[in-house]
Amino acid sequence: MFEGTTILCVRIRNRVAMVGDGQVTLGNQVVKAGARKVRRLYRGTVLAGFAGSTADAMTLLERFEKFLEEHSGNLMRAAVTMVREWRTDRALRRLEAMMLVADREQTLLLSGAGDVLEPEGYAASIGSGSGFALAAARALCEAAEWPAEEIARRSLEIAGDLCIYTNKNITVEVIDA
Question: 5 catalytic, yes or no?
Answer: yes
> 80: which residues sit within 8 A by CB, 6+ positions away?
116
Catalytic residue among 5, 6, 107, 171: 5
Cα pseudo-dihedral 71, 78, 176, 105, rounded to 10: 100
Kindly list the distances between the CA atom of residue 177 and the CA atoms of 6, 16, 76, 78, 109, in Å, as whole numbers in the listed order.
23, 6, 16, 19, 18
Question: CA 123, 128, 131, 132 torsion: positive or negative?
Answer: negative
Please list the active-site residues. 5
